[in-house]
């Protein structure tokens, strides 16, 4: 048998979950490399740095990472403060990445193109698990290969937005109008303000990213009467989008739904729901969104800009030579699918889980973090940290610790026993950012919700 113990664990993605993996491996004295496609750690977070998380600091940091940081005199933020994405990056991720145990193992501008077993394609089974992984990576324009004994894919789902169309299909019409479509939460109070001044804007999606977007647009409308806001969803009732409001244990998250409720009641936002988008077209300077409601066809005219908050989907293209265990509906890890499928669950009643639930047919390969949930919208950052703690313990040979559950999450008031969403089909929830999960999730409570 080949000796593969001297090779490192390869981590893909230097967001909060990938850096947590690095911290846990470093704490256990395990060799690793961390491959980040961007020019800095937490590269994707800079795109939503203006967004404030509504989970406080103590839910947003990994325990092993905190232990390492504290060793070097790091001053922890107040545990109950709510950081913006930029503050989260500057006060936590960047200091963590600069620790000597981690910094030298990070390779930036390293885009993973493919992963395979060494000299072994997907069809070959004999001695497969004894062969090293080979990670084919484009580093600043040059192809490089890295060998690893295990791989942790923490690349998230950022940059892989779901499309506008209710069918979930990308079309030439949508792509041809991309200049007037924004996927995510634009910085409406900052660099993107001029783009939306005096415009008629359609916000598509029914999750917390859409709520954040709508609040920012409403603030712009307070100083610019030319702004018109249209909110398009597939939900049967707009009340379904408000969440737990005052019943949510995360106060800031509950307040988000309550503020939107007030804006809708004051008619500052035009709500179009249920509405299933079928076609996008342009006539002159304006766009038309065509679709169906419960009464039949409907056209929404006079739209200048569209902001899409319809969730995201994982990218498996660079994993084609690996044997994955992926659910066909949710595109999550197969064992998680029955617990997070939005066709069944109206809340994220996912029991704490770890290495055992995250296994693929491909031994020693793991997908963690947001990507492990596929298209399901119920991921929480703290859940990702628990995944990492368990997976790293297993890779280090500490099987007993890997089986333990060490996770406490806040309760939410949005859950109801046996309640399934009334939207049907693909989830509308939104925030695809690897760090932004905690501002959008409906967290797994310690109750009987959705049991």
Point out the domain boundary residue: 308, 329, 359.
308
Scanning the structure block, which residue is given the tokens 């020693």? 364
| Partners of residue 111 on adjacent β-strands | 138
Residue 50: inside a domain, yes or no?
yes
Judgement on whether residues 189 and 287 belong to the same structural domain of the protein? yes
Report the largest interatomic distance among the alpha carbons of the chain, rounded to a whole angstrom: 72
Scanning the structure block, which residue is given the tokens 């999960």? 437
> How far is it, in rounded angstroms, from Cα 415 to Cα 404?
26
Residue 133: inside a domain, yes or no?
yes
Residue 397: inside a domain, yes or no?
yes
- Indicate which CATH number applies to the domain containing 235: 3.50.50.60
Q: Which residue has the higher pLDDT, 253 or 99?
A: 99
Closest CA to 420 of 450, 375, 446: 450
Instruction: Dump pLDDT digits (tens) for 188-232.
Output: 999 999 999 999 999 999 887 888 899 999 999 999 999 999 999
Judgement on whether residues 184 and 302 belong to the same structural domain of the protein? yes
Q: Are 162 and 375 in contact (CB under 8 A)?
A: yes
Q: Looking at residues 320-348, what average pLDDT do you find?
A: 85
Judgement on whether residues 321 and 292 belong to the same structural domain of the protein? no
Judgement on whether residues 260 and 195 belong to the same structural domain of the protein? yes
Scanning the structure block, which residue is given the tokens 């909110």? 231
Q: Look at residue 435 in the predicted model and tell me its pLDDT.
A: 34
Judgement on whether residues 323 and 358 belong to the same structural domain of the protein? yes
pTM for this prediction: 0.85
Instruction: Dump pLDDT digits (tens) for 307-326.
Output: 999 989 999 999 999 999 99
Give 363-366's long-range contacts (Cβ < 8 A, gap of 24+): 363/128, 363/129, 364/129, 364/133, 364/149, 364/150, 364/151, 364/395, 365/115, 365/133, 365/150, 365/151, 365/153, 365/322, 366/150, 366/151, 366/152, 366/153, 366/391
Residue 4: inside a domain, yes or no?
no
Residue 426: inside a domain, yes or no?
yes
Q: Look at residue 410 in the predicted model and tell me its pLDDT.
A: 58
Question: What contacts 223, CB < 8 A, 6 or more positions away?
Answer: none
Judgement on whether residues 148 and 26 belong to the same structural domain of the protein? yes
Q: Which residue has the higher pLDDT, 58 or 1?
A: 58
Judgement on whether residues 136 and 29 belong to the same structural domain of the protein? yes
Token pair for 57: 């600091």
Q: Look at residue 211 in the predicted model and tell me its pLDDT.
A: 87
Judgement on whether residues 50 and 152 belong to the same structural domain of the protein? yes
Q: Look at residue 31 in the predicted model and tell me its pLDDT.
A: 97
> How far is it, in rounded angstroms, from Cα 317 to Cα 244?
37
Instruction: Dump pLDDT digits (tens) for 400-447.
Output: 999 988 776 655 433 332 333 333 333 334 333 333 333 233 233 332
Cα separations in angstroms, 257 against 111, 126, 337, 427? 38, 54, 27, 18
Classify residue 54 as left (phi > 0), alpha (psi -120 to 50) or beta: alpha
Instruction: Output the average pLDDT for the chain.
Output: 85
Judgement on whether residues 393 and 286 belong to the same structural domain of the protein? no
Q: Look at residue 375 in the predicted model and tell me its pLDDT.
A: 92
Point out the domain boundary residue: 291, 308, 325.
308
Q: Looking at residues 86-98, what average pLDDT do you find?
A: 96
Instruction: Give the DSSP H/E element, type plus range, for residue 390.
Output: helix 381-395
Q: Are 154 and 434 in contact (CB under 8 A)?
A: yes
Q: Look at residue 406 in the predicted model and tell me its pLDDT.
A: 79
pLDDT level of residue 117 (50, 70, 90 thresholds): very high
CB atoms within 10 A of CB 93: 24
Q: Looking at residues 235-263, what average pLDDT do you find?
A: 66
Q: Looking at residues 82-88, what average pLDDT do you find?
A: 93
Count of domains forming the chain: 2
Q: Look at residue 451 in the predicted model and tell me its pLDDT.
A: 25
pLDDT level of residue 448 (50, 70, 90 thresholds): very low
DSSP for 202-265 reads EEE-SSHHHHHHHHHHHHHHHH-TT-EEEEE---S-GGGGSTTGGG-SSHHHHHHHHHHHHHHH
Q: Are 226 and 199 in contact (CB under 8 A)?
A: yes
Judgement on whether residues 29 and 126 belong to the same structural domain of the protein? yes
> How far is it, in rounded angstroms, from Cα 116 to Cα 133?
6
Q: Are 53 and 86 in contact (CB under 8 A)?
A: no
pLDDT level of residue 134 (50, 70, 90 thresholds): very high
Judgement on whether residues 264 and 282 belong to the same structural domain of the protein? yes
Point out the domain boundary residue: 308, 336, 355.
308
> How far is it, in rounded angstroms, from Cα 165 to Cα 12?
30
Residue 33: inside a domain, yes or no?
yes
Residues above pLDDT 90, as percent of the chain: 65
Scanning the structure block, which residue is given the tokens 């679709």? 291
Instruction: Dump pLDDT digits (tens) for 42-84.
Output: 999 988 899 888 788 988 999 999 999 999 999 999 998 989 9
Q: Are 60 and 92 in contact (CB under 8 A)?
A: yes
Judgement on whether residues 216 and 230 belong to the same structural domain of the protein? yes
Residue 449: inside a domain, yes or no?
no
Residue 146: inside a domain, yes or no?
yes
pLDDT level of residue 8 (50, 70, 90 thresholds): very high
Which structural domain range is residue 294 located in?
A: 172-308
Scanning the structure block, which residue is given the tokens 């804007």? 201
Checking if the pLDDT of 450 tops 60, the result is: no
């Amino acid at each position: 048998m080949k000796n593969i113990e001297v090779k490192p664990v390869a981590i893909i993605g230097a967001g909060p979950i990938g850096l947590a993996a690095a911290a846990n491996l470093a704490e256990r004295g395990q060799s690793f490399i961390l491959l980040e496609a961007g020019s800095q750690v937490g590269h994707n977070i800079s795109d939503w740095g203006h967004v404030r998380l509504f989970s406080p600091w103590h839910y947003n940091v990994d325990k092993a990472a905190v232990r390492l940081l504290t060793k070097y005199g790091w001053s922890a933020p107040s545990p109950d403060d709510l950081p913006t994405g930029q503050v989260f990056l500057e006060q936590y991720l960047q200091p963590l990445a600069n620790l000597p145990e981690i910094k030298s193992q990070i390779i930036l501008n390293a885009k993973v193109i493919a992963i395979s077993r060494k000299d072994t394609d997907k069809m070959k089974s004999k001695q497969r698990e004894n062969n090293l992984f080979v990670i084919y990576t484009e580093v600043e324009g040059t192809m490089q290969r890295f060998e690893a004994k295990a791989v942790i894919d923490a690349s998230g789902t950022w940059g892989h937005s779901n499309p506008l169309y209710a069918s979930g299909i990308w079309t030439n019409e949508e792509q041809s109008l991309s200049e007037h479509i924004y996927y995510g939460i634009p910085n409406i109070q900052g660099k993107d303000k001029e783009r939306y001044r005096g415009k008629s804007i359609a916000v598509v999606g029914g999750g917390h990213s859409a709520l954040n977007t709508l609040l920012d647009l409403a603030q712009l409308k307070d100083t610019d009467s030319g702004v018109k806001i249209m909110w398009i969803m597939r939900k049967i009732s707009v009340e379904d989008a408000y969440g737990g409001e005052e019943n949510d244990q995360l106060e800031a998250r509950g307040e988000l739904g309550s503020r939107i409720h007030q804006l809708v009641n004051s008619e500052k936002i035009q709500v179009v729901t249920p509405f299933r988008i079928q076609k996008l077209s342009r006539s002159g300077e304006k766009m038309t969104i065509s679709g169906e409601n419960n009464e039949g066809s409907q056209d929404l005219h006079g739209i200048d800009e569209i902001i899409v908050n319809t969730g995201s989907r994982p990218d498996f293209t660079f994993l084609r030579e690996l044997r994955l265990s992926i659910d066909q509906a949710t595109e999550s890890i197969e064992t998680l699918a029955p617990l997070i499928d939005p066709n069944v669950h109206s809340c994220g009643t996912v029991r704490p889980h770890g290495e055992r639930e995250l296994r693929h047919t491909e031994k020693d390969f793991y997908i963690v973090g947001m990507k492990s949930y596929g298209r399901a919208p119920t991921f929480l950052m703290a859940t990702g940290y628990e995944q990492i703690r368990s997976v790293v313990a297993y890779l280090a040979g500490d099987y007993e610790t890997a089986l333990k559950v060490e996770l406490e999450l806040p309760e939410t008031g949005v859950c109801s026993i046996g309640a399934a969403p009334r939207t049907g089909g693909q989830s509308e929830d939104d925030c695809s950012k690897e760090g932004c999960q905690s501002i959008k999730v409906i967290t797994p409570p310690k109750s009987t919700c959705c049991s």
